[in-house]
Amino acid sequence: MIKVENLSKRYAGHTAIKDLSFEVERGEIVGFLGPNGAGKSTTMKILSCFMPATGGRASVAGYDVFTQALEVRQHLGYMPENVPLYTEMRVNEYLEHRAALKGLGGKKLKMRVGEVKELTSLNDVQRKIIGTLSKGYRQRVGLADALVGEPDLLILDEPTIGLDPNQIRQVRDLIKNLGQKHTILLSTHILPEVEMTCSRVIILHKGRIEASDTPQNLLSQLRAVGNIRLEANTGADTGLEQLQKVPGIKEVTLDGGANGAEGVPAAVNGNGKAAESALPDADGYRTFNLRVEAGADPRAELFRLAVERKWTLRELARRRATLEDVFVEITHAE
């Protein structure tokens, strides 16, 4: 469905993507991941014929995105991150207008608009002016627009941005159902959604593809033990410098900054000097989050350290490795 070969895009003094090559087969739901600025949106805009590339080739449904843009657009629905809508139109009017532009007419147009309103839960607001809708409903209108032409391929750039948790769950279920009839390329920062939805993941970093595989295989190959949570009363120690020296520990963060605010991560540098003024809780306990090297499990060494330093342990537990761990491991700036 999608074939990309050595695709590049350069701006003045900046390379957004460089020599990207990948394929997406018909019927796949592929997560397109990467930090901000990695080149995800640029690639999606090129595939959607909204932006030319500097070099390389790309095709959708067998049509070249540079020389056969009209044919490509007949086979895809594109939902950009910031959905451009006619805010002075009513939802129903807008969707009918967009359906007509995509070649639908008569009874088929009415039927298809009704189907996408049902799919995206827009029936309750179909007569409202788009400009009066919340961010979440505007996202739904954008998704309905992408669907109304019955495309073979859906390219969705951050489709859940601005939605509440219940709406995100609804969109996730919708994407799963759409995957039965459509090929989907999905960009999102909500990694648990990708893990539950996508059959394959492509991770970009600094304009290059760093990984492309199923979420399960990425976890297996990385063999990441996941983050370790350590909660201890370290007494006069801050605990930061000692933990940083344990073999296998790559980074230590401490819940609570210098003001002791719970849940605010305080990064620790290599010499353990950062965040040394972070305060313990009312019972004298500090909570440390430890990022470990791939394949390492330093829990036994951490326990020995606690015994040696006479710390009182309240918790020492590892968290199952997730796609977020893989993402951080691949894209984390050393």
Read off the pLDDT of residues 145-175 as tens digits, 9 standing for 90 and up.
999 998 999 999 888 877 788 878 888 888 8
Q: What is the mean pLDDT of the chain?
A: 85
Measured CA to CA in angstroms, residue 135 lies from 45, 87, 161 at distances of 22, 12, 8
Q: What CA–CA distance (Å, rounded) separates 277 from 282? A: 15
Helix (H, G, I), strand (E, B) or coil at 15: strand
**Helix pair 106-119, 91-101: axis angle to 10 deg:** 130
The predicted-structure confidence for 276-330, as pLDDT tens digits, reads as follows 445 778 888 999 989 888 778 899 999 999 999 999 999 998 877 777 777 877 7
Q: pLDDT digit string (tens) for 244-260?
A: 899 989 888 887 543 33
Q: What is the pLDDT of residue 284?
A: 87
Q: What is the pLDDT of residues 257-282, one digit of tens each?
A: 433 333 444 444 444 444 444 577 88
| Euclidean distance between CA atoms 319 and 227, whole angstroms | 6
The yes-or-no verdict on residue 62 having pLDDT over 70 is: yes
Whether 334 shows a pLDDT value over 90: the answer reads no
* pLDDT on residue 268: 43
Encoded amino acid at 12, one letter: A
Q: Which of 46-50, 131-135, 261-265 has the lowest mean pLDDT?
A: 261-265
Can you point out the beta strands (E) in the chain? Answer: 2-11, 14-24, 29-33, 55-60, 63-64, 76-79, 153-157, 183-187, 200-205, 208-213, 228-233, 249-255, 265-267, 286-292, 312-318
Alpha-carbon distance of 265 to 102, in angstroms, equals 48
Predicted confidence at residue 44, as pLDDT, reads 92
Mean per-residue pLDDT, 112-136: 92
Residue 170 tokens read as 């609804």
pLDDT score of 278: 59
Q: What is the pLDDT of residue 225?
A: 52
Please state the rounded mean pLDDT for residues 124-129: 95
Structure tokens at 313: 């342990």
Tens of pLDDT along 17-43?
999 999 999 889 999 998 888 899 999
pLDDT (0 to 100) of residue 216: 82
Nearest alpha carbon to residue 44 among 15, 67, 76: 76
Q: Is the pLDDT of residue 229 over 60?
A: yes
Query: Quick one: CA dihedral 332, 213, 325, 196, positive or negative?
Result: positive
- Please report the pLDDT score of residue 257 as a whole number: 40
